[in-house]
Amino acid sequence: MKLFKRILLAILVISVFVVTRLFIQDVKPLFKNLVDETIANPLDKDFLTEKFEGLTIKYEKNDYSTVETIKALYPEAKEELDKLYGDNSDELTIVVYEKLEDFNAASKSENLGGYYIPINDSIHLKSEELVGDFPLEDTFFHEYTHYRTDSFLEKHGLSDEDLPQWFNEGISEVIAKRDTDVDIDLVETIDFNELDSNTEFLKGRQGDVDPYLQSYFTVNELVYQYGLEILPEILLALKDKDIYKVLDDIVGTNSDELLSSYIARREVVKEMEAQAHEYELNANYKKALEVYEEILHLHPSNVSAIGAMPHLLVKQFQFTKAMDTLKNRTDLYVYELKMLAELSLLTDLNESLKYTEMSEEKLKVNINDSSYKSPIGEIIRNNSDDPVGVFLELMKENLITYEEIKLQLEENLKKMYPDDPRVQNL
């Protein structure tokens, strides 16, 4: 009889758990509508609203520039997360605060860069004026990833309570810092079990402990070893077991081992960077290039290696490979566009002007001068009907940075214009 009662009690407990989970999932849309405006606008501010591809962006009247930045970032963010979790019809509210004190009051914290509220699918951000364009991009990608992770869990009948906070934050950090070289040391660690809940996670941000960095390093190592596709696989496995059992079953390791592996790999990369730098100082460009190529196998987003590759190729007269390396990048810095413009002088003057004008546009924004004109661009534009004159003027004004490109250009000119006395006197 006692055994029968125990079985009935067990069935009752399981039934209550299942019904509660189903009730929460069913009631969320209704509850979301009831609390949406209160949570999305806790300070009862007079926001303006802009609709954009499933986004409802609430902003203050003097801060439309942040709206434009979010609209520019969103397609890339959605594409990135669609690859990870599958296509999603987003219904997301983004609230932008123009003043720091308003954001802190709304978040009830002075330590947050942004935050996501699952109950009404809203992201809360500081304005671009407050944080700058790069931090805004980082925070937007981070919080949008939280939204998409939450949507993925909900779609597959999982609760965010099934997902440890450190793993949740680690996923968001990996996506937000996908093309970033995080050169920060983890001074002190904390037991992962103490970072499972959001409350514990936030409490862990004390002294030299950085739960975000610890989480990022750990999930980054997981992705390095198994690819991004491992993340949804692990999330789905949380239906039946906790993260620690899932990691052991699927990849045969644990969070501590992943963290240690990342730190060890990072130390190897640092030693290799020093070695490559030494080769470069001694003009051994071939060896430096080889070391940087090895670094990129260990750390694909390593800024030092990515930045050095085109330069080292040019120093070895590998101009085509240098151009291809730069063209394969999605977003080039001003100095990289200038390098591409110089390299293009060897093949196509119009291409050179195109990259010069791209660098002009970026520099105008950087120096806040809409009238800026590149000296190289001006020479090309003013002498478009006389290519030889363009090249000679660029050389005369010492506007070609690389001696290697200049030497190759002189050789090309002599072959292309054998009857031009200006060229033969080079």
Quote the Cα angle for 280-281-284, to 5°.
45
- Residue 43 has a pLDDT of 57
- Residue 384 has a pLDDT of 81
- Residue 354 has a pLDDT of 96
> In Å, how far are 283, 293, 294 from 271, measured between CA atoms?
19, 14, 12
- Residue 20 has a pLDDT of 37
Helix 303-315 to helix 334-344 angle, to the nearest 10 degrees? Answer: 20
Strand order in the sheet with 122-126: 48-52, 55-59, 92-97, 122-126, 114-117
- Residue 160 has a pLDDT of 81
- Residue 113 has a pLDDT of 86
- Judge if pTM exceeds 0.85: no
List the chain pLDDT tens, one digit each, 426 residues.
Answer: 443 334 333 333 333 333 333 333 444 444 344 344 455 566 567 889 999 999 999 999 989 999 999 999 999 999 999 999 999 999 999 999 999 888 888 877 777 889 999 999 999 999 999 988 778 999 999 999 999 999 999 999 998 888 999 999 999 999 999 877 787 788 788 999 999 988 888 777 777 788 999 999 999 999 999 999 999 999 999 998 999 999 999 999 999 999 999 999 999 999 999 999 999 999 999 999 999 999 999 999 898 999 999 999 999 999 999 999 999 988 899 999 999 999 999 999 999 999 999 999 998 888 888 889 999 999 999 988 899 999 999 999 999 999 999 999 999 999 999 888 888 777
Extract the tokens encoding 60: 């203050």
- Identify the three-state secondary structure at position 126: strand
| Structural element, H or E, at residue 103 | helix 100-107
Residue 388 CB neighbours (<10 A) = 14
- Residue 257 has a pLDDT of 97
- Residue 111 has a pLDDT of 75
pLDDT digits (tens, 9 = 90+) for 89-133: 999 999 999 998 888 888 777 778 899 999 999 999 999 999 887
What CATH code is assigned to 2-253? Answer: 1.10.390
Residue extents of the structural domains in the chain: 2-253, 317-424
Extract the tokens encoding 140: 């937007």
**Distance in angstroms (rounded) separating the CA atoms of residues 178 and 228:** 11
- Residue 298 has a pLDDT of 94
Q: Report CA Rg, the chain.
A: 27
pLDDT digits (tens, 9 = 90+) for 182-200: 877 887 889 999 999 888 8
- Residue 41 has a pLDDT of 61
Write the CB contacts of 280 (distance below 8 Å, at least 6 apart in sequence): 288, 308, 312
The answer to whether 230 and 223 are in contact (CB under 8 A) is yes
| Structural element, H or E, at residue 67 | helix 64-85
| Structural element, H or E, at residue 97 | strand 92-97
- Residue 27 has a pLDDT of 42
Q: Is the dihedral of CA 128, 133, 134, 140 positive or negative?
A: positive
**Distance in angstroms (rounded) separating the CA atoms of residues 143 and 149:** 10
